[in-house]
Amino acid sequence: MASSPDTAPQISPGDHRAYMQYALSLAKQSPPKPSNYRVGAILVDRSTNVVLSTGYTLELEGNTHAEQCCFAKLAERHGVAEEQLADAMANASPRSLVLYTTMEPCSQRMSGNLPCTQRILRLRPLVSSVYVGVKEPEKFVSENTGRKALGDAGIEFVHVEGLEREILEVATAGHVK
């Protein structure tokens, strides 16, 4: 069963490693496939330390990425399309949101879906920081330009160190070695 903000563990504000471990626990719920990375994502309100939404690869129908699922579920709770989420949340109350994701958000999608970096940029200026566990391996996309795009937009990009081996092990389950 998928985790929800209501069942999120209590994590101290600023405990980036604990949030990354929580994101990793979500990634483990993703089905192993040779054509996807298993990734987990968590959106947190920095001012209240409340988990607003979670997601993992293939959680929702279609070829969905973790960040995409996270944002789509939040949009559904707000009763808007994902493209309208920034306006809906800004009107509800100004927030400083932080995204934790086990892998660097994609900058290209071979499936034709909107890349996760573009989804994050749509939430600018609400999303102020993106914390990642590992850089995206070059297996599917030779050069991920997401980090630069986020930085250029003023979104802080932070690597949370210490879980790389476990994150990559989970992410690549189902891949041919």
Domain map (residue ranges) of the chain: 16-171
Amino acid found at 16? H
Both structure tokens of 61: 């129908």
Assign 129 to helix, strand or coil: strand
Give yes or no for a cis peptide into 94 (omega within 30° of 0).
no
Structure confidence at residue 138 (pLDDT) = 60
Amino acid found at 131? Y
Q: What is the pTM of this model?
A: 0.91
Q: Using alpha carbons only, give the angle 88, 127, 143 rounded to the nearest 5 degrees.
A: 125
Amino acid found at 70? C
- Strands 40-45 and 50-56 turn out to be antiparallel
Both structure tokens of 60: 């929702």
CA-to-CA distance for 168 and 177, rounded, in angstroms? 12
Structure confidence at residue 1 (pLDDT) = 38
Q: Which helix or strand (DSSP H or E) is residue 133 part of? A: strand 127-134
Structure confidence at residue 174 (pLDDT) = 86
Structure confidence at residue 69 (pLDDT) = 97
Structure confidence at residue 146 (pLDDT) = 84
Burial 59-87, CB ≥16 within 10 A → b, else e: bbeebbbbbbbbbbbbbeebeeebeebbe
Give the CATH number of domain 16-171: 3.40.140.10
Both structure tokens of 88: 């809906």
Structure confidence at residue 90 (pLDDT) = 82
Question: What pLDDT tens digit does each residue of the chain (177 aa) get?
Answer: 345 566 778 999 999 999 999 999 999 999 999 888 999 999 999 989 999 999 999 999 988 999 999 999 999 999 999 999 999 888 776 678 999 999 999 988 877 789 999 999 999 889 999 999 998 766 555 566 888 899 999 999 999 999 999 999 999 998 887
